[in-house]
Structure 1
């Protein structure tokens, strides 16, 4: 039986940029309520563990001391610092900006500790995935970079190799930058093309620093990319690279803003494909990462119909008990949606799509835009891993 830890504290809802901001804490509240209503948190082998606030020492494994001090000042003195992204349109200040942001980092560290210590095979921090934050700057709704801090902690604990897979619609630029020259960390980001979406980075030819060539992997996809093509990328790029990398642990970011209804991105992916991707990550962890898997949330701004369903599927996969796609949404959760968001809830845990794809082993179509993106990335990085880009 798989053992899994879900990191959760109500205080995680205090990461709140205010009314009208896309990253509304209601998305986390509704996700937690849906997980409870469907019994995911009560499954055998699942434990809920608290989310502590990360210390300054933990934060400065990735962030500069000056930046951490600036975030603290922003909380206590409401000091706007545009040079560090604090107080701009994406990252407005709020009263607990340091504490709430550091708690998200603490939650991902708690997840990493659970897995690395052996107390759990897998662990989940749905509040995490703040992948845009840089060493000295907030960016893209992200104040501190919890995946990067967790990975740095794992390296400090003796992990020889870590694989990080980022499935957010936006490029995982902050995590990539943190380990750009570190040959112990493989970062893979599957995202919407940087010519069409923030942060405008993450091209196939961006492959890592001089001492770590091939450890930064990017697959930029054109707007409108659908389920079958999106999942095909995971099969064609992510799986062979993680297999070749043979990491000690897998860390994944599951931003669900790739969904067709997300208001901030332009991909055409479904909840069913998100579920399929989670299953693929579970298989990678079991086959190539000693079963060790730490997962986080990320972006996702259709906060009622998409985020709760996508991440509840993820939690169930981590628990080793995937939910059937056609599982009905519980009535009590639908009532909570009406009360919290004043909109109707979806009836099922599916968008009615099959969540399937054509494996790359069946060949590449040079006239297909996604296949061209796949080959651009394979050509850029596969040789660094001793892999033949054209071997299917």
Structure 2
């Protein structure tokens, strides 16, 4: 029996931020045409599936949508996330060997709290998938490798305090591109140190520089971590023709990356060179996943003589890799979170900007430092929405690995704050029992959802 690669193609032609926005409905038209013309979907190694809808509860398992899921999530978002989940089911049930969710809208800039669209993203497709796999199949250790030119700050935010989800992101240096984050010192919270690995790269990286990073850093880290499931956030805006990035990666470079990485599931993220990159990169990635020859997939604009990497760029790549190699090798010897006076909480303030809708969020995060589990998280979030309303919400999330003490303490926090006049909404997301609660303080109404 042929071990097949599953594909779901959902171009969301009825969804766009605007008619001229880079993330618009034409984005996958040429990819669709290329696949049909090449007869790729007729190969016995590839099987196409139809997407399914992620439920509101699937989204609540990962996000706090303010004020509700229906206010932030359209059917297109639910289909994109549902497509990843559906392929995840097929992989876990051994119906396919791996998969490629060629979907939009993208998701890796969507954080745990969602006040609107930022970085073209409302909900995080990969994070919804990960939380679903852990709940439905008991998958313990999951790795996400983000290959988008932009730092996957939303995915990082959601799993920053989770030791069982390894998040690796290589991207163009945040000093030169949106969202301005993803530096080597962003390494995860208490109990999850070095479970976040950011690899900021200078503009001008070519295939050779990228594969130096793969061979000397990413693959050895994955070999140490030994994930039970590997997700590739397959952003393609590192391509040399992409209008939003300044990198020099080719379709062949992406295909070899995929061949080395061997992801269980690739989920499309960015990539905005609609004609010159996406049809070739998507095709090359799909062929690599299926174990087919991809050597003939070459862009018409590709000229080998134009892809010699600047020595200064190469030198900076080597410096970043060496820095992170040292951090990774010493991760168990380092305690970055020795809290003064036996403090029970790790705390930080996070200003978050929604570039698409011009929302400024002020968020204060508290993490319970627990010797038995990753600890629960309390989020105090304030933002003005485009409808003119000001939302001040409190959200409590309990990790799936939570100990009994943290479960009980977190529920006490939720109940006590239901009487606090400052908050419009109080949320509880208990991943250990797959329960979601929302309390509207003004109406004194409570909504509950169970998986």
CA distance in 1, matches of 2:107, 2:35: 22
CA distance in 2, matches of 1:367, 1:126: 32
Change (3 A) 1:367 1:305: closer
Structure 1 residue 370: Cα displacement: 0.7
Alignment partner, residue 135 of structure 1: 112
1:370 to 290, 301, 317: 317
2:10/2:80 contact within 8 Å kept: no
Alignment partner, residue 81 of structure 1: none
1:188-212 CA distance string (max 9 Å, x none): 0000001111111111111111111
Change (3 A) 1:326 1:24: same
1:24/1:303 contact within 8 Å kept: no
Structure 1 residue 357: Cα displacement: 11
| Within-5 A mapping of 1:211-290 | 211-282=191-262, 285=263
Alignment partner, residue 277 of structure 2: 306
CA distance in 2, matches of 1:382, 1:297: 31
CA distance in 2, matches of 1:376, 1:173: 21
Q: Quick one: higher RCO (CA 8 Å, sep 6+), 1 or 2?
A: 1
Change (3 A) 1:309 1:116: same
CA distance in 2, matches of 1:174, 1:317: 27
Change (3 A) 1:320 1:172: same
Alignment partner, residue 302 of structure 2: 351
CA distance in 1, matches of 2:165, 2:113: 21
**TM-score, with structure 1 as normaliser:** 0.78
Q: Secondary structure at the match of 1:191?
A: strand
Structure 2 runs not aligned, ≥5 long? 334-451
CA distance in 1, matches of 2:207, 2:314: 18
CA distance in 2, matches of 1:57, 1:309: 36
CA distance in 1, matches of 2:87, 2:57: 18
1:149 matches 2:128: yes
1:16 matches 2:44: no
Structure 1 residue 73: Cα displacement: 3.3
1:42-63 CA distance string (max 9 Å, x none): 1113211111221100011111
| Within-5 A mapping of 1:154-193 | 154-156=133-135, 157-193=137-173
Q: Secondary structure at the match of 1:13?
A: coil
Change (3 A) 1:357 1:167: farther
Q: Secondary structure at the match of 2:223?
A: helix
Aligned Cα root-mean-square deviation (Å)? 2.6
Structure 1 residue 134: Cα displacement: 1.0
1:73 matches 2:71: yes
Matched residue count = 327
1:210 to 178, 186, 190: 190
1:318 matches 2:318: no
CA distance in 2, matches of 1:109, 1:266: 32
Q: Which has the higher helix share?
A: 1
CA distance in 1, matches of 2:245, 2:10: 29
Find the structure with the greater CA-based Rg.
2
Alignment partner, residue 93 of structure 2: 117
Change (3 A) 1:179 1:326: closer
2:174/2:181 contact within 8 Å kept: yes
Change (3 A) 1:204 1:67: farther
CA distance in 1, matches of 2:322, 2:20: 40
**TM-score, with structure 2 as normaliser:** 0.68
Alignment partner, residue 333 of structure 1: none
Structure 1 residue 351: Cα displacement: 2.5
Structure 1 runs not aligned, ≥5 long? 75-96, 286-292, 328-345, 359-364, 387-392
Structure 1 residue 38: Cα displacement: 1.3
Q: Which has the higher strand share?
A: 2
